[in-house]
Amino acid sequence: MNTILKQISQSISLTGLLLIAACGTNPATNQPGTDTAGIVGAAKGCKNVAVLLPESDSSARYEAYDRPLLEQAIKKAVPGVTLQYANANNNSDTQQNQAEAALTKGACILVVDPQDADKAAVIVQKARASNVPVISYDRLIQDPDLAYYVSFDNVKVGELQGQYLVDLFKKGESGLKAGANLVMLNGSQTDNNALLFRQGAINKLQPLVDSKDINLVFDQYTPNWDPTRAQNLMEGALTSQRNNIQMVYAANDTLANAAIAALRTQTLNGKVPVTGQDATVTGIQNILAGDQGMTVYKPIAKEAEATARLVAALSNGSDPGSLVNGQTKLKDGAQVASVLLTPIAVDQNNVQQTVIADGFVKKEQVCQGVPAGKAELCQ
């Protein structure tokens, strides 16, 4: 991971990026609003940073990657920093309590990956009352008083997933033809990213749905990204369609694995293409075994590094604007200054050149348990 961070640090340029002011901008001047600017400025000299992540049960990434990468990057960017850390374990009330505890213990910058996009607004407002800026990490908090948002282009994530299915259909691969039935297993509706993933997928799939080349027969969100619920939903879809399902959009690798389990009971695994996301070890194993078509790799080290640079800028009292390369619109229309990184589609053809080359996963990990002869990488 040290090597990854070093490469990323060298590759992320602080020049040539779009300069965008912090949230709460005045549309006439494009300058930070008075209140937001004051909160951001109050972080100067801050050496006590809290990192609050949302869960660990439905996605292994947060404890396996985000936590250590964020801690390493922030400690490097802000020498002498005190880091507070907590995981909400998929409970929004727990996360609010953790934020309050962090503020009580002197946190002067919060990095929050919200368990619930709307409920986490309470965290932003409590931090605001203490003149503490909040960086929304990975998932967007629906509050206009956010200082910054760091994530990937999440609509693009969904577009990569949707385009994969579109390309298979147009090539006639996996036996796909006009009238193919599509199931969509979306993520948690309380996670703004899940909404964006679906939006991106629909951007690509809708023309084929409109032309009736593809039939969208099932389209459900999965509470808390729960794999058990996802498997139940997939089993229900198979039952209702009498197993007549040819394509599965699964929003991440956890949901994909649940869908594959349901397909396996009907001996349909490997016959029905399934999408995914996060490039987990299980997801890559499923791809190499032929049960999952693709995943989306999001280089989390870059996300952690970008977040650490924002934290350092706030702590140093320097202008973080040069780090920003976009704006993200909230439900109420307000804009949040954002750092949006580029996701990468991964299938059997580029596993070696992407996640393994970056050290995100190891060859021996992903090849473990893959049947002999299934994947050239594992020969």
Instruction: Please give the span between the terminal C-alpha atoms of the chain, in angstroms, as a whole number.
Output: 26
- Superfamily for domain range 2-152+300-341: Response regulator (3.40.50.2300)
In the three-class reduction of DSSP (H, G, I as helix; E, B as strand; rest coil), residue 232 is classed as helix
pTM of the full structure: 0.85
* Domain spans in the chain, listed from the N-terminal domain onward: 2-152+300-341, 154-297+345-378
Q: Spell out where 251-323 has E strands.
A: 295-297
Residue 291 CB contacts under 8 Å (≥ 6 apart), including other chains: 260, 263, 264, 269, 270, 274
HSE-CB of 160 using CA atoms within 13 angstroms: 23
Q: How many CA atoms lie within 13 A of 39 on its CB side?
A: 26
For the chain, 379 residues long, give each residue's pLDDT as a single digit of tens. 444 444 444 443 333 333 333 334 433 323 333 345 667 788 999 999 999 999 987 777 899 999 999 999 999 999 999 999 999 999 999 999 999 999 999 999 999 999 999 999 999 999 999 999 999 999 999 999 999 999 999 999 999 999 999 999 999 999 999 999 999 999 999 999 999 999 999 999 999 999 999 999 999 999 999 999 999 999 999 999 999 999 999 999 999 999 999 999 999 999 999 999 999 999 999 999 999 999 999 999 999 999 999 999 999 999 888 899 999 999 999 999 999 999 999 999 999 999 999 999 999 999 998 888 888 899 8
Let me know how many helices (H) and strands (E) the chain has, helices first. 13, 14
Q: Are the folds of 2-152+300-341 and 154-297+345-378 the same?
A: yes
Sign of the C-alpha dihedral, residues 208, 210, 214, 219?
A: positive
CATH 3.40.50.2300 fits 154-297+345-378, yes or no: yes
Q: Which two tokens stand for residue 246?
A: 């040819």
Q: Give me the phi and psi of 361, to 5 degrees please.
A: -135, 165
Nearest to 183 by CA among 278, 111, 273: 273
Residues 249, 250, 255, CA angle at the centre, nearest 5°? 160
Instruction: Look at the alpha carbons of 298, 300, 305, 307 in this order and tell me if their dihedral is positive or negative.
Output: positive
